[in-house]
Amino acid sequence: MIKMGRILPGRRFLALSILLGIPGIAHDGPLSQERVLSPVLGQTASVAKDDANDGFFGKAWNALTDEAHLRVGYGVVQWAMDVTRASDGATARLVQRDNSAIFIGYGSKPSFFKDSNFGYTFMANYVDFSMTKQSIPGDQFADLGTEVSGYMVYAVPTLYYQWGEHRHTGRFVRLGLGVGVGAARYSGTVRLSTGEVIQTEKRSYEPRLAVSNFLEARWNQFGLTVSYASPRVYGDGYDIRVADFSANLGYLFYF
């Protein structure tokens, strides 16, 4: 799944997503030949069957549209960044909460392992963020005059299990979990639990372990999707985890 979006404080934003079932696309040899009888000359001729459906692009198009769908939804997105200083264990947590979003997505034909309920997909994500609130005692969040902005990317092969019908227009519940790589770039200020305000930044694209999971429930054309991803970043004496959470209810338009 590829998701892209930009948060504007106090305003809604647009998220784009793609979920690919990774179907195999390959050309299986030369163009097939067929023999036709010329109605004029009465001779047999050999011609190449140059049909778009038999070529690479034809197969690619069929793979992208066969049982595929477009999805339009509305929901919420949240981000969080947990910072821990290695030297003394001082911590901080920045958040961006309850931002409404419009989701527009594409999904290809689901891929299963033979006749089982296990399937696979590939999730990728790009999202930029601006976190302006921090955690304070009492499980509350407040504006302390600090802010961290940046973006994160990750790519995660995902295995899922599905309960219910295997039809693309059916009713089912799908739960997926994956492990891959992710990276984050960011900069800003953070108030640690010691009271210090520090400058923190990460400019490199060094890949790190990323975990992603999702829950999807489908009732014919209606779907509920919840997803979470969290790459972990190390550097400059700090252990930092950036998390992305989203939930939306959508309607599907099938090809």
pLDDT at 22: 46
The answer to whether 17 and 104 are in contact (CB under 8 A) is yes
Helix (H, G, I), strand (E, B), or coil: what is residue 208?
Answer: strand
Instruction: Find which of 54-58, 117-121, 136-140 is predicted with most confidence, using mean pLDDT.
Output: 117-121
- pLDDT for residue 246 is more than 80: yes
pLDDT at 16: 52
- Core vs surface per residue 19-33: b (16+ CB within 10 A) or e: bbbeeeeeeeeeeee
pLDDT at 189: 92
pLDDT at 65: 72
| Average pLDDT in the chain | 76
**pLDDT, average across residues 86-112:** 82
The answer to whether 31 and 53 are in contact (CB under 8 A) is no
| 15-61 pLDDT per residue, tens | 555 555 544 433 334 433 333 344 444 444 444 444 545 677 777 77
Angle at 156 between CA 246 and CA 4, to 5 degrees: 45
| 173-188 pLDDT per residue, tens | 999 998 888 887 888 9
For residue 242, what pLDDT band results from cuts at 50, 70 and 90? confident
Distance CA 33, CA 15 (A): 46
- pTM metric for this prediction: 0.66
Name the least confident of 46-60, 148-162, 190-204, 230-244: 46-60
pLDDT at 72: 87
- pLDDT for residue 131 is more than 70: yes
Distance CA 33, CA 24 (A): 24
CA 226 to chain centre: 11
